[in-house]
Protein backbone atom coordinates (compact mmCIF):
# COMPACT_ATOMS: atom_id res chain seq x y z
CA UNK A 1 0.00 0.00 0.00
CA UNK A 2 1.67 3.18 -1.17
CA UNK A 3 0.45 6.66 -0.30
CA UNK A 4 -0.59 8.47 -3.49
CA UNK A 5 -0.71 12.16 -4.35
CA UNK A 6 -3.85 14.30 -4.35
CA UNK A 7 -4.53 13.07 -7.89
CA UNK A 8 -6.08 10.00 -6.21
CA UNK A 9 -6.70 11.10 -2.63
CA UNK A 10 -10.10 12.70 -3.30
CA UNK A 11 -11.51 10.09 -5.66
CA UNK A 12 -13.98 8.44 -3.25
CA UNK A 13 -15.52 9.31 0.10
CA UNK A 14 -16.74 5.82 1.05
CA UNK A 15 -15.63 2.28 0.40
CA UNK A 16 -17.22 -1.16 0.47
CA UNK A 17 -15.57 -4.35 1.68
CA UNK A 18 -14.06 -5.38 -1.67
CA UNK A 19 -12.42 -1.98 -2.15
CA UNK A 20 -10.95 -2.14 1.36
CA UNK A 21 -9.61 -5.66 0.79
CA UNK A 22 -7.82 -4.55 -2.36
CA UNK A 23 -6.01 -1.76 -0.51
CA UNK A 24 -4.11 -4.36 1.55
CA UNK A 25 -2.40 -5.36 -1.71
CA UNK A 26 -1.63 -1.79 -2.74
CA UNK A 27 -4.67 -1.04 -4.92
CA UNK A 28 -6.10 2.47 -4.63
CA UNK A 29 -9.88 2.90 -5.12
CA UNK A 30 -10.96 5.38 -7.81
CA UNK A 31 -14.16 6.30 -9.63
CA UNK A 32 -14.97 4.02 -12.54
CA UNK A 33 -13.84 5.59 -15.84
CA UNK A 34 -16.72 6.65 -18.05
CA UNK A 35 -16.89 5.08 -21.49
CA UNK A 36 -17.57 7.62 -24.24
CA UNK A 37 -18.48 7.32 -27.92
CA UNK A 38 -14.87 7.76 -28.98
CA UNK A 39 -13.82 4.75 -26.87
CA UNK A 40 -16.48 2.66 -28.60
CA UNK A 41 -15.39 3.86 -32.04
CA UNK A 42 -11.73 3.11 -31.37
CA UNK A 43 -12.45 -0.49 -30.41
CA UNK A 44 -14.99 -1.32 -33.11
CA UNK A 45 -12.57 -3.86 -34.64
CA UNK A 46 -12.20 -5.74 -31.35
CA UNK A 47 -14.69 -8.58 -31.14
CA UNK A 48 -17.38 -8.25 -28.48
CA UNK A 49 -17.02 -10.70 -25.64
CA UNK A 50 -18.20 -10.39 -22.02
CA UNK A 51 -14.78 -11.46 -20.72
CA UNK A 52 -12.58 -9.32 -22.96
CA UNK A 53 -13.90 -5.76 -22.91
CA UNK A 54 -11.59 -3.64 -25.07
CA UNK A 55 -13.83 -0.57 -24.79
CA UNK A 56 -13.58 -0.44 -21.02
CA UNK A 57 -9.82 -0.96 -21.16
CA UNK A 58 -9.44 1.94 -23.61
CA UNK A 59 -11.41 4.13 -21.20
CA UNK A 60 -8.90 3.18 -18.49
CA UNK A 61 -5.94 4.19 -20.68
CA UNK A 62 -7.66 7.44 -21.68
CA UNK A 63 -8.40 8.28 -18.04
CA UNK A 64 -4.79 7.46 -17.15
CA UNK A 65 -3.59 9.96 -19.76
CA UNK A 66 -6.17 12.70 -19.12
CA UNK A 67 -5.74 12.69 -15.35
CA UNK A 68 -1.94 12.55 -15.54
CA UNK A 69 -1.64 9.31 -13.59
CA UNK A 70 1.74 8.89 -15.31
CA UNK A 71 3.16 11.40 -12.79
CA UNK A 72 2.45 9.01 -9.89
CA UNK A 73 4.94 6.39 -8.62
CA UNK A 74 4.83 3.23 -10.74
CA UNK A 75 3.82 0.45 -10.83
CA UNK A 76 0.39 1.90 -10.12
CA UNK A 77 -2.41 -0.31 -8.78
CA UNK A 78 -6.04 0.86 -9.14
CA UNK A 79 -9.45 -0.63 -8.38
CA UNK A 80 -12.95 0.62 -9.10
CA UNK A 81 -16.48 -0.64 -8.73
CA UNK A 82 -18.14 -1.34 -12.05
CA UNK A 83 -21.60 0.16 -12.60
CA UNK A 84 -24.43 -2.33 -12.08
CA UNK A 85 -27.03 -3.12 -14.72
CA UNK A 86 -30.54 -4.54 -14.43
CA UNK A 87 -29.27 -8.01 -15.28
CA UNK A 88 -26.25 -8.29 -13.00
CA UNK A 89 -24.26 -6.73 -10.20
CA UNK A 90 -21.47 -4.45 -11.28
CA UNK A 91 -18.45 -6.32 -10.01
CA UNK A 92 -14.96 -4.80 -9.82
CA UNK A 93 -12.01 -4.03 -12.07
CA UNK A 94 -8.42 -4.08 -10.83
CA UNK A 95 -5.52 -2.72 -12.90
CA UNK A 96 -1.76 -2.99 -12.42
CA UNK A 97 0.06 -0.43 -14.55
CA UNK A 98 3.74 0.00 -15.33
CA UNK A 99 5.18 -3.48 -14.75
CA UNK A 100 6.35 -6.00 -17.36
CA UNK A 101 7.04 -8.55 -14.61
CA UNK A 102 4.92 -11.56 -13.74
CA UNK A 103 4.30 -9.92 -10.35
CA UNK A 104 1.50 -7.95 -12.07
CA UNK A 105 -0.56 -11.06 -12.77
CA UNK A 106 0.36 -12.54 -9.39
CA UNK A 107 -0.88 -9.57 -7.37
CA UNK A 108 -4.05 -9.31 -9.49
CA UNK A 109 -4.81 -12.98 -8.86
CA UNK A 110 -3.98 -12.74 -5.15
CA UNK A 111 -6.23 -9.69 -4.63
CA UNK A 112 -9.07 -11.21 -6.69
CA UNK A 113 -8.85 -14.45 -4.69
CA UNK A 114 -9.14 -12.53 -1.42
CA UNK A 115 -12.16 -10.55 -2.61
CA UNK A 116 -13.93 -13.66 -3.93
CA UNK A 117 -13.12 -15.64 -0.79
CA UNK A 118 -14.77 -12.94 1.31
CA UNK A 119 -17.84 -13.29 -0.93
CA UNK A 120 -18.08 -16.92 0.13
CA UNK A 121 -16.18 -18.77 -2.61
CA UNK A 122 -13.92 -21.34 -0.94
CA UNK A 123 -12.95 -23.71 -3.80
CA UNK A 124 -11.25 -21.36 -6.19
CA UNK A 125 -9.01 -22.36 -9.08
CA UNK A 126 -7.12 -20.42 -11.73
CA UNK A 127 -7.38 -21.57 -15.34
CA UNK A 128 -4.43 -20.03 -17.15
CA UNK A 129 -2.82 -19.82 -20.58
CA UNK A 130 -0.31 -17.67 -22.41
CA UNK A 131 -0.54 -16.35 -25.98
CA UNK A 132 2.65 -14.31 -25.63
CA UNK A 133 3.74 -11.14 -27.38
CA UNK A 134 2.69 -9.92 -30.85
CA UNK A 135 5.27 -12.17 -32.51
CA UNK A 136 3.92 -15.23 -30.67
CA UNK A 137 0.28 -14.38 -31.42
CA UNK A 138 0.97 -13.98 -35.15
CA UNK A 139 2.86 -17.28 -35.27
CA UNK A 140 0.00 -19.05 -33.49
CA UNK A 141 -2.61 -17.52 -35.79
CA UNK A 142 -0.72 -18.77 -38.87
CA UNK A 143 -0.45 -22.26 -37.39
CA UNK A 144 -4.17 -22.40 -36.60
CA UNK A 145 -5.11 -21.32 -40.12
CA UNK A 146 -2.86 -23.98 -41.65
CA UNK A 147 -4.13 -26.65 -39.25
CA UNK A 148 -7.79 -25.94 -40.00
CA UNK A 149 -7.15 -25.69 -43.74
CA UNK A 150 -5.88 -29.26 -43.75
CA UNK A 151 -9.25 -30.43 -42.42
CA UNK A 152 -10.87 -29.03 -45.57
CA UNK A 153 -14.34 -30.37 -46.30
CA UNK A 154 -14.57 -32.01 -42.92
CA UNK A 155 -15.95 -28.80 -41.41
CA UNK A 156 -19.50 -27.52 -41.53
CA UNK A 157 -20.26 -24.43 -43.60
CA UNK A 158 -21.21 -22.46 -40.50
CA UNK A 159 -17.94 -23.18 -38.72
CA UNK A 160 -15.89 -22.61 -41.88
CA UNK A 161 -17.40 -19.16 -42.42
CA UNK A 162 -16.93 -18.17 -38.79
CA UNK A 163 -13.25 -19.09 -38.60
CA UNK A 164 -12.62 -17.57 -42.01
CA UNK A 165 -13.74 -14.26 -40.53
CA UNK A 166 -11.50 -14.76 -37.48
CA UNK A 167 -9.65 -17.99 -36.72
CA UNK A 168 -9.91 -17.22 -33.00
CA UNK A 169 -13.71 -17.56 -33.24
CA UNK A 170 -12.95 -21.23 -32.85
CA UNK A 171 -12.45 -20.57 -29.14
CA UNK A 172 -15.72 -18.65 -28.74
CA UNK A 173 -18.16 -21.12 -30.29
CA UNK A 174 -19.99 -23.64 -28.10
CA UNK A 175 -21.12 -25.93 -30.92
CA UNK A 176 -20.09 -29.60 -30.43
CA UNK A 177 -18.01 -29.45 -33.62
CA UNK A 178 -15.98 -26.50 -32.31
CA UNK A 179 -15.52 -28.16 -28.93
CA UNK A 180 -14.18 -31.33 -30.55
CA UNK A 181 -11.82 -29.33 -32.73
CA UNK A 182 -10.40 -27.45 -29.73
CA UNK A 183 -9.34 -30.78 -28.24
CA UNK A 184 -6.94 -31.52 -31.11
CA UNK A 185 -5.63 -28.13 -32.26
CA UNK A 186 -2.13 -27.01 -31.20
CA UNK A 187 -1.65 -25.03 -27.98
CA UNK A 188 -0.53 -21.40 -28.06
CA UNK A 189 2.22 -22.21 -25.53
CA UNK A 190 4.04 -24.18 -28.23
CA UNK A 191 4.50 -20.99 -30.28
CA UNK A 192 5.71 -18.60 -27.58
CA UNK A 193 8.82 -16.55 -28.27
CA UNK A 194 11.78 -17.17 -25.96
CA UNK A 195 11.03 -13.99 -23.99
CA UNK A 196 7.32 -14.84 -23.66
CA UNK A 197 8.17 -18.33 -22.46
CA UNK A 198 10.39 -16.97 -19.67
CA UNK A 199 7.70 -14.49 -18.69
CA UNK A 200 5.01 -17.18 -18.43
CA UNK A 201 7.36 -19.36 -16.38
CA UNK A 202 7.71 -16.47 -13.92
CA UNK A 203 3.94 -16.07 -13.61
CA UNK A 204 3.49 -19.78 -12.88
CA UNK A 205 6.25 -19.67 -10.25
CA UNK A 206 4.38 -16.91 -8.42
CA UNK A 207 1.11 -18.85 -8.51
CA UNK A 208 2.76 -22.04 -7.26
CA UNK A 209 4.44 -20.12 -4.42
CA UNK A 210 1.05 -18.71 -3.39
CA UNK A 211 -0.28 -22.24 -3.06
CA UNK A 212 -3.08 -21.48 -5.50
CA UNK A 213 -4.55 -24.37 -7.48
CA UNK A 214 -4.27 -23.83 -11.22
CA UNK A 215 -4.89 -25.61 -14.50
CA UNK A 216 -3.29 -24.96 -17.88
CA UNK A 217 -6.18 -23.99 -20.14
CA UNK A 218 -5.24 -23.78 -23.85
CA UNK A 219 -8.81 -22.69 -24.69
CA UNK A 220 -8.11 -19.26 -23.14
CA UNK A 221 -6.77 -17.17 -26.00
CA UNK A 222 -8.55 -13.87 -25.48
CA UNK A 223 -9.26 -11.43 -28.31
CA UNK A 224 -6.49 -11.21 -30.90
CA UNK A 225 -6.63 -7.42 -31.42
CA UNK A 226 -5.84 -6.41 -27.86
CA UNK A 227 -5.14 -9.25 -25.41
CA UNK A 228 -1.61 -10.56 -24.96
CA UNK A 229 0.66 -12.63 -22.74
CA UNK A 230 -1.04 -14.36 -19.80
CA UNK A 231 -4.81 -14.85 -19.78
CA UNK A 232 -6.47 -16.33 -16.71
CA UNK A 233 -9.95 -17.14 -15.43
CA UNK A 234 -10.88 -17.73 -11.79
CA UNK A 235 -13.58 -20.32 -11.13
CA UNK A 236 -15.31 -21.84 -8.12
CA UNK A 237 -14.83 -25.53 -8.84
CA UNK A 238 -16.88 -26.51 -5.80
CA UNK A 239 -19.90 -24.79 -7.31
CA UNK A 240 -19.89 -24.86 -11.09
CA UNK A 241 -16.75 -25.06 -13.21
CA UNK A 242 -18.52 -23.23 -16.01
CA UNK A 243 -19.22 -20.28 -13.73
CA UNK A 244 -16.37 -17.86 -14.43
CA UNK A 245 -15.97 -15.46 -11.52
CA UNK A 246 -13.12 -13.34 -12.89
CA UNK A 247 -10.99 -12.92 -16.02
CA UNK A 248 -7.65 -11.16 -16.33
CA UNK A 249 -5.08 -10.42 -19.03
CA UNK A 250 -2.64 -7.82 -20.37
CA UNK A 251 -4.06 -5.14 -22.65
CA UNK A 252 -1.02 -2.93 -23.33
CA UNK A 253 -1.55 -3.22 -27.10
CA UNK A 254 -4.63 -0.99 -26.88
CA UNK A 255 -2.38 2.02 -26.34
CA UNK A 256 -1.79 2.24 -30.07
CA UNK A 257 -5.50 2.98 -30.60
CA UNK A 258 -4.98 6.17 -28.61
CA UNK A 259 -1.94 7.16 -30.63
CA UNK A 260 0.72 6.11 -28.12
CA UNK A 261 4.10 5.45 -29.73
CA UNK A 262 5.24 3.31 -26.83
CA UNK A 263 3.13 0.77 -25.00
CA UNK A 264 2.33 1.31 -21.33
CA UNK A 265 2.53 -2.07 -19.55
CA UNK A 266 -1.04 -2.67 -18.36
CA UNK A 267 -2.73 -5.73 -16.90
CA UNK A 268 -6.16 -6.05 -15.36
CA UNK A 269 -8.70 -8.43 -13.91
CA UNK A 270 -12.48 -8.06 -13.95
CA UNK A 271 -14.42 -9.68 -11.13
CA UNK A 272 -17.95 -10.62 -12.13
CA UNK A 273 -19.30 -10.23 -8.62
CA UNK A 274 -21.63 -12.89 -7.28
CA UNK A 275 -22.65 -10.94 -4.21
CA UNK A 276 -24.52 -7.66 -3.87
CA UNK A 277 -22.03 -5.60 -1.92
CA UNK A 278 -24.22 -2.49 -2.15
CA UNK A 279 -26.01 -3.58 1.04
CA UNK A 280 -22.84 -4.46 2.96
CA UNK A 281 -20.84 -2.39 5.37
CA UNK A 282 -19.64 0.98 4.11
CA UNK A 283 -16.33 2.39 5.35
CA UNK A 284 -15.67 6.12 5.48
CA UNK A 285 -11.90 5.69 5.66
CA UNK A 286 -9.35 3.24 4.34
CA UNK A 287 -7.13 1.24 6.73
CA UNK A 288 -4.16 3.29 7.92
CA UNK A 289 -0.87 1.35 7.78
CA UNK A 290 1.61 1.72 10.64
CA UNK A 291 4.43 -0.32 9.13
CA UNK A 292 6.38 -0.51 5.85
CA UNK A 293 7.17 -3.88 4.29
CA UNK A 294 10.40 -4.00 2.29
CA UNK A 295 11.26 -6.94 0.04
CA UNK A 296 14.75 -7.69 -1.28
CA UNK A 297 15.18 -10.17 -4.10
CA UNK A 298 13.05 -12.48 -6.17
CA UNK A 299 12.29 -15.04 -3.45
CA UNK A 300 11.30 -12.26 -1.07
CA UNK A 301 8.96 -10.69 -3.60
CA UNK A 302 7.22 -14.01 -4.09
CA UNK A 303 6.93 -14.50 -0.32
CA UNK A 304 5.60 -10.96 0.16
CA UNK A 305 2.29 -11.74 -1.55
CA UNK A 306 1.58 -14.48 0.98
CA UNK A 307 2.59 -12.17 3.84
CA UNK A 308 0.19 -9.47 2.66
CA UNK A 309 -2.67 -11.97 2.71
CA UNK A 310 -1.67 -13.19 6.18
CA UNK A 311 -1.63 -9.63 7.51
CA UNK A 312 -4.94 -8.85 5.78
CA UNK A 313 -6.60 -11.74 7.57
CA UNK A 314 -5.42 -10.18 10.85
CA UNK A 315 -6.44 -6.67 9.72
CA UNK A 316 -2.90 -5.31 9.73
CA UNK A 317 -2.40 -3.00 6.73
CA UNK A 318 1.17 -2.16 5.69
CA UNK A 319 2.72 0.22 3.22
CA UNK A 320 4.66 -1.55 0.47
CA UNK A 321 5.89 -1.06 -3.07
CA UNK A 322 5.91 -4.62 -4.32
CA UNK A 323 6.44 -3.61 -7.94
CA UNK A 324 9.81 -2.07 -7.12
CA UNK A 325 13.06 -3.98 -6.67
CA UNK A 326 15.46 -1.24 -5.56
CA UNK A 327 16.04 -1.02 -1.81
CA UNK A 328 16.82 2.71 -2.08
CA UNK A 329 13.38 3.46 -3.54
CA UNK A 330 11.60 1.47 -0.85
CA UNK A 331 13.63 3.03 1.98
CA UNK A 332 13.01 6.51 0.59
CA UNK A 333 9.27 5.87 0.55
CA UNK A 334 9.35 4.59 4.12
CA UNK A 335 11.28 7.67 5.23
CA UNK A 336 8.82 10.04 3.53
CA UNK A 337 5.92 8.27 5.26
CA UNK A 338 7.66 8.61 8.66
CA UNK A 339 7.09 4.97 9.53
CA UNK A 340 8.36 3.83 12.93
CA UNK A 341 9.00 0.17 12.03
CA UNK A 342 10.14 -1.68 8.92
CA UNK A 343 9.25 -5.27 8.07
CA UNK A 344 12.15 -6.61 6.02
CA UNK A 345 11.96 -9.74 3.87
CA UNK A 346 15.27 -10.67 2.24
CA UNK A 347 16.42 -13.89 0.65
CA UNK A 348 17.37 -15.42 4.00
CA UNK A 349 14.02 -14.51 5.57
CA UNK A 350 12.14 -15.85 2.56
CA UNK A 351 13.93 -19.20 2.81
CA UNK A 352 13.58 -19.37 6.61
CA UNK A 353 9.94 -18.25 6.54
CA UNK A 354 10.73 -15.35 8.86
CA UNK A 355 10.63 -11.54 8.85
CA UNK A 356 12.96 -8.97 10.38
CA UNK A 357 11.15 -6.14 12.19
CA UNK A 358 13.34 -3.06 12.69
CA UNK A 359 12.72 0.04 14.79
CA UNK A 360 13.63 2.95 12.51
CA UNK A 361 14.74 5.23 15.39
CA UNK A 362 16.69 2.84 17.64
CA UNK A 363 17.76 0.43 14.86
CA UNK A 364 16.88 -2.44 17.20
CA UNK A 365 15.44 -5.41 15.37
CA UNK A 366 13.96 -8.86 15.93
CA UNK A 367 13.63 -11.86 13.64
CA UNK A 368 10.11 -13.23 13.85
CA UNK A 369 8.64 -16.41 12.41
CA UNK A 370 5.97 -15.73 9.81
CA UNK A 371 3.24 -17.38 11.87
CA UNK A 372 4.06 -15.13 14.86
CA UNK A 373 4.36 -11.94 12.81
CA UNK A 374 0.73 -10.73 13.18
CA UNK A 375 0.81 -11.17 16.96
CA UNK A 376 4.19 -9.45 17.21
CA UNK A 377 3.05 -6.43 15.18
CA UNK A 378 -0.14 -6.05 17.19
CA UNK A 379 1.90 -5.87 20.38
CA UNK A 380 4.15 -3.05 19.18
CA UNK A 381 3.34 0.16 21.02
CA UNK A 382 3.41 3.16 18.68
In a domain, 115, yes or no: yes
Counting Cβ atoms within 10 Å, is residue 198 exposed (0-12), middle (13-18) or buried (19+)?
Answer: exposed
Tell me, yes or no, whether 118 and 31 share the same domain.
Answer: yes
* pLDDT band, very low/low/confident/very high, at 277 (cuts 50, 70, 90): low
Rounded to the nearest angstrom, the gap between the alpha carbon of residue 126 and the centroid of all alpha carbons in its chain is 12
In a domain, 37, yes or no: yes
Q: 54-90 burial, b if ≥16 CB within 10 A, otherwise e?
A: bbbbbbbbbbbeeeebeebebbbbbbbbbeeeeeebb
Could you report the per-residue pLDDT of 13-45, keeping only the tens digit for each?
Answer: 889 999 999 999 999 999 999 999 999 999 998
Rounded to the nearest angstrom, the gap between the alpha carbon of residue 295 and the centroid of all alpha carbons in its chain is 20
pLDDT at 304: 93
Tell me, yes or no, whether 61 and 113 share the same domain.
Answer: yes
pLDDT at 329: 86
Domain span holding position 120: 6-133+193-279
pLDDT at 85: 64
Last residue in a domain, options 230, 249, 279: 279
Whether pLDDT at 183 is above 60: yes
Whether pLDDT at 255 is above 70: yes
Tell me, yes or no, whether 21 and 59 share the same domain.
Answer: yes
Number of structural domains in the chain: 3
Could you report the per-residue pLDDT of 300-340, keeping only the tens digit for each?
Answer: 988 999 999 999 999 999 999 888 878 888 988 888 898 99
Tell me, yes or no, whether 200 and 237 share the same domain.
Answer: yes
pLDDT at 230: 96
Cα-based torsion angle of the residue sequence 329, 335, 337, 342 in order, rounded to the nearest 10 degrees = 90
Q: 98: which DSSP letter?
A: S
Tell me, yes or no, whether 116 and 236 share the same domain.
Answer: yes
Inter-axis angle of helices 298-313 and 194-209, nearest 10: 40
Tell me, yes or no, whether 75 and 218 share the same domain.
Answer: yes
Mean pLDDT of the chain: 89
Tell me, yes or no, whether 94 and 147 share the same domain.
Answer: no
Q: What is the pTM of this model?
A: 0.92
Tell me, yes or no, whether 203 and 92 share the same domain.
Answer: yes
Tell me, yes or no, whether 217 and 322 share the same domain.
Answer: no
> Rounded to whole angstroms, how far apart are CA atoms 134 and 228?
7
Last residue in a domain, options 253, 279, 305: 279
Could you report the per-residue pLDDT of 193-249, keeping only the tens digit for each?
Answer: 999 999 999 999 999 999 999 999 999 999 988 999 999 999 998 766 568 999 999
- Of all residues in the chain, the percent with pLDDT exceeding 70 is 92
Amino acid sequence: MLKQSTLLDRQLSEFDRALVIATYFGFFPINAPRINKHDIELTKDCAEHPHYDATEKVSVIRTYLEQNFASLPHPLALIYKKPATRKKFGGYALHFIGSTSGVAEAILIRAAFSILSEEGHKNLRVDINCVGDKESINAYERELINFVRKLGAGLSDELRLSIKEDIFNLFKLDAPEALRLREIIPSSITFLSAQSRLYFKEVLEYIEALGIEFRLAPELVGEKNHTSHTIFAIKDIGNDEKNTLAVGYRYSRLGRFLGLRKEIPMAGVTIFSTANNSHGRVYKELPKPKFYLIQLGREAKIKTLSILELLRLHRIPVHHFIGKDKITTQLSNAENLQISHLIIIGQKEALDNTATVRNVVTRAQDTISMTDLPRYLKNITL
